[in-house]
Amino acid sequence: MEARERTYARRWMLAVALGVAGLFCVVAAKLVKLHLIDPSAPGYRAPTNYVSTYRLLGLRGRILDRNGVALAESLSGRVVYVDQNDPKLKALSEERRAELPLELAKLLGVSQEKMLDAFNGYHTYRGRRVTSRKVCEISDDAVIRELARRSSLSTPKSERIAGVDFSQPLAVRSHPNGARLGHTLGYINNDGVGVYGVEQRFDSHLSGKDGTIVTMVDARRREIRDRRLEENPPVHGDDVTLTIDNNIQYIIESALSKALERFQADSGIILVQRVRTGEILGMATLPGFDPQEYGSFPQEQWKNIAVSRNYEPGSVMKAVTVAMALEYGIITERTPFDVGQKGYWVYAGKPLRDHAYGIVHAKEILARSSNIGTAMIGLRMAEPCPRLGATKPNELLWRAFRAMGFGQTTGIELVGEEAGILRHFSQWDKLSPTRMPIGQGISVTAVQLCNAYATIANGGVRMRPTILKEIRAHDGTLVRDNPPEVLGRPLSPEVCRKMLLMLQAVTDRSQGGTAGKAALRSYTVAGKTGTGQIPVNGSYNHSDYNASFVGIYPASAPELVILVTIERPKGPYRMGGSVAAPTFADVAEEIGHYLGIPADKFPKEGA
């Protein structure tokens, strides 16, 4: 090899090696810059997108009926948004984009107009055009899976879904029975807080607490399992079991809705209470209210009128008056009253209308629903009675109403309970002791009234009406029990026995009873009708009534009290005996058999 060739090659080698070395030097400078200089520059921020927080839904507890049937439950679902600016949407063909909203509307169960509007319309918020909109919430796993499958890029473009974001988890409150028992349950507002009913009353028990997972994620936002930073498990809410029986609720709600239609009434209440424990087995209030769609009902319809409406009950109060008069020894069953033959009775300058019965005995007063007779009992009770420690006029009568639970809340576990209106006896006028005993000038709630009858049925022991059976944590441990609670013993068993016999005559037409239509085939019924006038602009009229019937059965061994109140029936029938009594009979017979209450009445042979 010639030296010239060698030198030539070496020169080139040197040049190229130096060139490569130069490149290495540039790389070294860049390395120092990237590693050391950039991160120490002011304003440098290390990337933070490696960490992501996932929300774990803490589900709200269920509300169950006494047999464990779910009345309200939370399901984990997703919020669905439509985003018109989704870049994946632009990848689709024109025709596909046109048919997409209609297809989604069908899949998600949303109206086509709403979906088309979400995809094409827009609104402005603070001067900005908003093109992303919430369309619905879904809890059906199959739908969520379908959305996920069809949104993936591996789905052919002709079937692919785009422009829809359903990543945000959400608990959806589901009511399997729709509007049934809606007033008692209450609803969940947009902040997830219970409003009205059981949802509000037991919100602290029911509400769950969301958990979180803080974790490192890869570039596709997927969790890196072995690099989870923090884990706070969700806490699910407690399950609240009610005393309500879903089947009884169904029976009374459908009967009530039929009655409202038949008698063209505005609203109605049916309560079913167990005598011995005070448990409410059914609470129907119509017009109804669907907790899931509360926004589409007028706001005055959201309240539970069984506990939060005061009304003048009318003649159903007479039983309370008579019972207390017997208890205080003011009268006996045989005490006679001359109600006259004129058909009215003037006291304190005001006439009181009534049937003309002549002489009636105390025990007939209830069966015939004598206004004058009851008013006379009221007057006797209004006299001061030092024997019982009532030194002032009216005091004893006031105490009698208080003892039976009027003028005070019962303590039922529902929000917005009213106390009724029972003015203090010092504020009464001269007419009060003649009108209050027949249910005028005194306002009550349906729950108070039902409970007063339950007291009579229960041998004088007044139980606290209750809707709560128990509360259990998500894992089943008992959090709160609710044993029956005695509020007082206003009546003796002896008086109650007599009262039941008297009230039984009400449903017996042969004894002149006003509620023959409340008689049952299999059970004897002790009850009382009432046709309370509704004051309109401060005075009574002859068209606005509350038609009521409260029945205790079986009268020989009371199990249940059922209260029926129909407000403002507008048909030909408007009286308690012709409107509420038959509705009572409709439901009472069925519920008696459903609960297996032994019959105490047998059809006569050959009948």
Partner 1 sequence: MLKFCVRMVMMLTFAMAAFGLLIVSYAGKSQGQGPYHFFIMQAAFLVAGLIAAAVICRVDYRFFRNPAILWTLGAVMVVALLMVLTPGIGKSVKGSHRWIALGPINVQPVEFVKVGMVVFLSAYLERLGGMVNRFRQGFLIPVGLLGVVAGLLVLQPDFGGTAVVCFLSGLMLLMGGVGVRKCLALAVLGLLAIGLLVLTNENRMRRLMNEKEGENYQAQQSEIAFRNGGMFGVGLGEGMQKEHYLPECHTDFVFAVIGEDLGLVATGAVWTAFVLLLGCGTVIAFRARDKQGMLLAFGATMVLCAQGAANMAVVTHVFPTKGLALPFFSYGGSCLLASFCAVGLLLGVGRVTLEEEASPESAAKRLLSLD
Residues of this chain that bind partner 1 (CB under 8 A): 1, 5-6, 8-10, 12-14, 16-17, 20-21, 23-24, 26-28, 30-32, 34-36, 38-39, 44, 46-47, 50, 216-220, 224
When computed from its CA atoms, the radius of gyration of the chain, rounded to whole angstroms, is: 37
Smallest gap from Cβ 226 to partner 1, in A, equals 10
CA 115 to each of CA 77, 146, 501: distance values in angstroms, whole numbers, following the listed order:
19, 18, 65
Paired with 385 in beta bridges are: 390
Rounded to an integer, what is the distance from CA 108 to the centroid of its chain? 27
The C-alpha atoms of residue 255 and residue 585 are separated, in whole angstroms, by 10
Paired with 529 in beta bridges are: 549
Nearer to partner 1, 5 or 300 (CB): 5
Q: Which residue has the tokens 């003015």?
A: 423
Q: How is residue 534 annotated by DSSP?
A: P
Q: How is residue 297 annotated by DSSP?
A: S
The C-alpha atoms of residue 322 and residue 315 are separated, in whole angstroms, by 11
Q: In 10 A of CB 495, how many CB atoms?
A: 21
Nearer to partner 1, 149 or 222 (CB): 222
Nearer to partner 1, 2 or 95 (CB): 2
Smallest gap from Cβ 50 to partner 1, in A, equals 5
Nearer to partner 1, 90 or 430 (CB): 90
Q: How is residue 465 annotated by DSSP?
A: P
Smallest gap from Cβ 26 to partner 1, in A, equals 6
Nearer to partner 1, 17 or 359 (CB): 17
Smallest gap from Cβ 29 to partner 1, in A, equals 9
Which residue, 85, 134, 90, is CA-closest to 108? 134
Amino acid at residue number 19: G
Nearer to partner 1, 44 or 602 (CB): 44
Q: With residue 13 as reference, give the H or E element that holds it.
A: helix 3-32
Smallest gap from Cβ 90 to partner 1, in A, equals 17
Residue 382 CB contacts under 8 Å (≥ 6 apart), including other chains: 393, 394, 396, 397, 433
Smallest gap from Cβ 169 to partner 1, in A, equals 24
Amino acid at residue number 540: Y
Nearer to partner 1, 23 or 356 (CB): 23
Smallest gap from Cβ 38 to partner 1, in A, equals 5
The answer to whether the beta carbons of residues 168 and 78 sit under 8 Å apart is yes
Smallest gap from Cβ 151 to partner 1, in A, equals 20
The C-alpha atoms of residue 78 and residue 271 are separated, in whole angstroms, by 38
Nearer to partner 1, 41 or 607 (CB): 41
